[in-house]
Chain A
Amino acid sequence: AQSVTQLGSHVSVSEGALVLLRCNYSSSVPPYLFWYVQYPNQGLQLLLKYTSAATLVKGINGFEAEFKKSETSFHLTKPSAHMSDAAEYFCAVSDLNTDKLIFGTGTRLQVFP
């Protein structure tokens, strides 16, 4: 069965610092991987997705993620954090047999001035 694990339920960074949110996946087939962001009291917005094309994926708001098969990882990064990046971030994998999205437990990003 496919799954994702997000390491760290809370991450705090200073404004302007590097953002690194970790995600490791488990899959017996090449996975489709996603990062979503959820701002307070809002829905889920797609940041970026990996669907077996380029391993470095660029998303919205300056975020990017690199698919590393050898490490089974799909970590999310942003060079310089903004206050507006404070939100909950979810890594997810698509189960291609059932076409359902399986989420990690989420990481809350706090950005301090």
Chain B
Amino acid sequence: DTAVSQTPKYLVTQMGNDKSIKCEQNLGHDTMYWYKQDSKKFLKIMFSYNNKELIINETVPNRFSPKSPDKAHLNLHINSLELGDSAVYFCASSQQGLGYTFGSGTRLTVV
């Protein structure tokens, strides 16, 4: 059983399109996150949700809209994709800052 699973693993799309990435965790954690890893491998938090409530929004463009239907799911919808959105997006979950478990990543390529 995969603890944090995200789909799809790869996503290639044209500029201007809208796409979604899904994430699910079966660890019972209260908090879920989206991180972005750029081409230089730098990891930066985008959003965090605690029990379906938005906690952190790190000055991400409003083209990015996270949605958490329940505490086990955190999806990321991106409107009007731009070339600069190309990156690897990681979903993660944690329990009170003691353990963070990451998904295997979604490599988004905008052409």
Q: Which residues of B contact A45 (CB under 8 A)?
A: 102
Q: Which residues of A contact B99 (CB under 8 A)?
A: 46, 49
Contact of A88 among B41, B98, B101, B102 (CB under 8 A): B41
Nearest CB in chain A to that of B96: its residue: A99
CB pair B43 A32 closer than 8 Å: no
Main secondary structure on chain A at its contact with chain B? Answer: strand
CB pair A96 B97 closer than 8 Å: yes
Q: Which residues of B contact A101 (CB under 8 A)?
A: 33, 45, 92, 94, 100
Query: Is B50 on the interface with A (CB-CB < 8 A)?
Result: yes
Q: How many residues of A contact B (CB 8 A)?
A: 25
CB distance from A103 to the nearest CB of B (A): 4
CB pair B98 A32 closer than 8 Å: yes
Q: When chains A and B are docked, how far (Å) is the Cα of A38 from the Cα of B92?
A: 14
Q: Which residues of A contact B40 (CB under 8 A)?
A: 105
Contact of A43 among B41, B90, B94 (CB under 8 A): B90
List 12 extra interface pairs beyond A96-B97, A100-B48, A106-B43, CB under 8 A: A32-B97, A44-B102, A45-B102, A49-B99, A94-B97, A99-B50, A99-B94, A101-B33, A101-B45, A101-B94, A103-B43, A106-B41
**B contact residues vs A (CB 8 Å cutoff):** 31, 33, 40-45, 48, 50, 55-56, 90, 92, 94, 96-105
**What are 9 of the A-B contact pairs (CB < 8 Å)?**
A43-B103, A44-B92, A94-B100, A100-B45, A100-B56, A101-B33, A101-B45, A102-B45, A106-B43
